[in-house]
Amino acid sequence: MFEKDIENLIALYPERFFPDQGFTLVGQQIILGKCRADLIFKDKHKRTIIIEVKRGILGREASGQIIEYYGLLKQENPNEVVELILCANTIPAERKMFLERVGIECKELGLALIPNLAREKGYHFLDESKEEVIVHDPLLNEVSRIELNSSFVGSVWIFQTNPTRYNILNALAELKQLGWSVNQHKDKIKKGDIALIWMSGENAGIYAISQVISDPEVRFGLPEEDKYCFDKSLLSNIKGNMVILKINKNMSNAPLFKNELKNFPNLKNLSILNHWRGTNFRVTKEEWSIIKDEINETYR
């Protein structure tokens, strides 16, 4: 999922995001000076609404952008009533409080709304043509074959991240490898294992399938990940016990949410559903079989 996908869906179906506002689209990527505003609408009161769209967690820089758009538009049309809205999948409470105090509305889109609306309307994400369907993913084909082989000794894990500390959605969209802390099971996690990437919080669930491509060791992180770190303790200049993960399938367009997993009776003992504090959680082969089948069904 790109930011452009979210922008397109808001442009096409504004009433689903802003009910009863009577939004009429003026345009997308409107040139204002040397900048481009994502979306401009007119509402039922004939006010001009500037919307800036951000995928993932709303960062500090977004407010500066939209305020600049406001100034440029008011410079051209000083008598026009202009309102500002920042949209993101997740907006930290303290950031929302500050922005709304200075007159910028914040709209948290959540993570289920976008894929659900896309499915309902038959909208195809711009990155879908670049991804193999899950049943053809080399990692999953290997797992399906290995499960029939009693000599397979690999394991499946859930690796958890907190979206208030690390912008996992943008990292998954832009990177092929991630460094990940190993705080539990450091003597059992091995190169070649599968790691299901779990985002915690209100929209908790599985957001990617990856493969562990290094054994746990004390090392520095990956410098290219620093821009996604909200928590300075996660920066690459700090050593820690970690592994490197290769992303095999980004599932951000259709995550397997925690609430869905809880509906499977045979997953009632899934470790992260019962003891969610931690970074690394074991998944049994029986649990992985159920999860894998559900992912295959979603990406069929």
pLDDT digits (tens, 9 = 90+) for 186-227: 999 999 999 999 999 888 999 999 999 999 999 999 999 999
pLDDT of 299: 66
pLDDT of 136: 40
Confidence category of residue 171, pLDDT binned at 50, 70, 90: very high
DSSP 233: G
Is the pLDDT at 144 greater than 70, yes or no?
A: no
The token duo for 117 is 């609306």
pLDDT of 212: 95
Average pLDDT over residues 63-78: 86
Confidence category of residue 276, pLDDT binned at 50, 70, 90: confident
pLDDT of 33: 83
Instruction: Name which of 18-22, 136-140, 194-198 the model is least confident about.
Output: 136-140
The token duo for 256 is 């397997």
* pLDDT above 70: percentage of residues in the chain: 91
Angle formed by the axes of helices 113-121 and 3-12, nearest 10°? 60
pLDDT of 153: 54
The token duo for 204 is 């908790």
Instruction: Name which of 78-87, 151-160, 256-265 the model is least confident about.
Output: 151-160
Pair type for strands 156-161 and 194-199: parallel
Q: Per-residue b/e over 60-96, b at no fewer than 16 CB within 10 Å?
A: eebbebbbebbebbeeeeeeeeebbbbbbbbbbeebb
Is the pLDDT at 132 greater than 80, yes or no?
A: no
Confidence category of residue 140, pLDDT binned at 50, 70, 90: very low
pTM confidence score: 0.72
* pLDDT above 90: percentage of residues in the chain: 56
Average pLDDT over residues 239-254: 92
pLDDT of 114: 87
**SS3 label, residue 21:** coil
pLDDT of 58: 84
- Report the C-alpha gap between 203 and 141 in whole angstroms: 28
Query: What's the whole-number average pLDDT of the chain?
Result: 86
Q: How far is CA 29 from CA 6, 105, 121, 177, 242, in A?
A: 13, 20, 23, 31, 41
212 touches 195 (CB < 8 A): yes
Average pLDDT over residues 121-138: 60
Beta strands in the chain (DSSP E): 24-32, 35-42, 48-57, 82-90, 104-108, 156-161, 177-181, 194-199, 205-212, 217-219, 240-250, 256-257, 280-283
pLDDT of 247: 94
- CB count in 10 Å sphere of residue 129: 7
